[in-house]
Amino acid sequence: MTWDPRSLPDLSGRTYLVTGSNAGLGYFASEQLVRAGATVFMSARHPNRLSAARAAIRRRVPDAAPDATEPLILDTSNLGSVRSAAASVRGRGGLDGVLLNAGIVHPPKERETTIDGHEVVFATNALGHYALGGELLPALAAASGRMVWVGSVSTALTPYDPIDPQLAEGYSSWRAYVQSKVATTALGFEADRRLRAAGVPVASIVAHPGYSTRGRTAGITGVNEPSRVKRFADNLQAAIAQSKEHGAWPLVRALVDPDALGGEFWGPRTGTRGEPRRRTAPRITRDEAIAARLWEVARTATGVRWPFEKAAAVTRGA
């Protein structure tokens, strides 16, 4: 099927949830979904930032239905917040897809921990999304939906094995970021293997946005307001960088293209920019032993056991 990311298929009647939808890729993914007629649970940790992003969508997509976006407070670094957000979404019925996008992109210089006691980058980028995926599984199964995890080219540049995923030793901000993305990608593939084995009709796909910068992205009040210096610096990288609007394309394609399948990896054509294409994920993220180990780490750290049997029963209408 030919795919035009600027003209998506009609998504009327579909419902999606996007984490971190107040800025960056999550904002543009939400906007693209709304433009195609979908209803989107836009989620963020700060109510004011969430209101500004929803207002931006109302301005930029004036024909969207008044209830095209639903606000949801969700802090992926806080397991209590993940549980309560998921419960309110589950109460609303089936969910066609969830984009597990929120992330700390510029980690702190020194190691920090969350209120649950986990290293903050691993918790925000990987653990919170593992917990959310599990909590939303029955709602996704009810709609034969899909989940999309967000990886990164950084995992090919420095393929760290997250043998110590919480970095109790040897923390650095780059290592914390890359390890969290190796874990996120590996968990996305492991989820797909486990969903297939359990007969749950939910696809788990991984996508990455290449290299997408704020300074290459349209200015939008309350969503993207880079300084002139930032624009200048980012424009020097025009040959390899793209806007966050374009960076959202592979994420959205993985979420809605009927031809995208569970276990696949999607990204921009050149690796860092361009039209969305099927790609080959870095070898470390495809290592099944590492993925199985990370799944156990995530299960123990979050206390969330994915309800595979319950989700399979929802599907059978039991």
Ligand X SMILES: NC(=O)c1ccc[n+]([C@@H]2O[C@H](COP(=O)([O-])OP(=O)(O)OC[C@H]3O[C@@H](n4cnc5c(N)ncnc54)[C@H](OP(=O)(O)O)[C@@H]3O)[C@@H](O)[C@H]2O)c1
Closest CA to 214 of 222, 200, 226, 198: 226
**Terminal Cα-to-Cα distance of the chain (whole angstroms):** 35
- Measured from the CB atom, the residue of 201 and 250 that comes closer to ligand X is 250
Site for ligand X contains 103 (CB under 6 A): yes
- Measured from the CB atom, the residue of 237 and 315 that comes closer to ligand X is 237
Shortest distance (Å) from residue 199 CB to ligand X: 30
| C-beta of residue 76 within 8 angstroms of C-beta of residue 82 | yes
Site for ligand X contains 35 (CB under 6 A): no
Site for ligand X contains 41 (CB under 6 A): no
Site mask for ligand X (CB under 6 A), range 247-286, x = bound: x---------------------------------------
Site for ligand X contains 30 (CB under 6 A): no
d(CA 237, CA 260): 30
| Whether 211 is catalytic | no
Q: Which residue has the tokens 């997408």?
A: 212
Shortest distance (Å) from residue 184 CB to ligand X: 7
Q: Could you say which of 16, 171, 177, 211 is catalytic?
A: 177
Shortest distance (Å) from residue 1 CB to ligand X: 25
Site for ligand X contains 227 (CB under 6 A): no
Number of residues that bind ligand X (CB under 6 A): 29
HSE-CB of 21 using CA atoms within 13 angstroms: 32
DSSP state of 280: P
| C-beta of residue 82 within 8 angstroms of C-beta of residue 102 | no
- Measured from the CB atom, the residue of 38 and 44 that comes closer to ligand X is 44
Buried b (16+ CB within 10 A) or exposed e, 148-180: bbbbbbbbbeeebebeebbbeeebeeebbbbbb
- Measured from the CB atom, the residue of 15 and 101 that comes closer to ligand X is 101
Q: Is 274 exposed, middle or buried (0-12, 13-18, 19+ CB in 10 A)?
A: middle
Work out which of 105, 115, 218, 233 binds ligand X, going by CB under 6 A: 105
Site for ligand X contains 302 (CB under 6 A): no
**What is the dihedral sign for C-alpha 99, 75, 54, 248?**
negative
Site for ligand X contains 52 (CB under 6 A): no
Site for ligand X contains 22 (CB under 6 A): yes
Alpha helices in the chain (DSSP H): 24-35, 47-60, 79-90, 120-122, 128-142, 154-157, 173-198, 228-235, 244-256, 288-302, 308-316
- Measured from the CB atom, the residue of 45 and 146 that comes closer to ligand X is 45
- Tokens standing for residue 151: 């990886």
Shortest distance (Å) from residue 6 CB to ligand X: 19
Site for ligand X contains 246 (CB under 6 A): no
d(CA 206, CA 188): 6
Site mask for ligand X (CB under 6 A), range 135-174, x = bound: ---------------x-x----------------------
- Measured from the CB atom, the residue of 32 and 101 that comes closer to ligand X is 101
Element (H, E) at 17: strand 15-18
What amino acid positions are annotated as catalytic residues? 177
Q: Using CB under 6 A as the criterion, which residues of the chain lie in contact with ligand X when the complex forms? A: 20, 22-26, 44-46, 49, 74-77, 101-105, 124-125, 150, 152, 208-209, 211-212, 244, 247
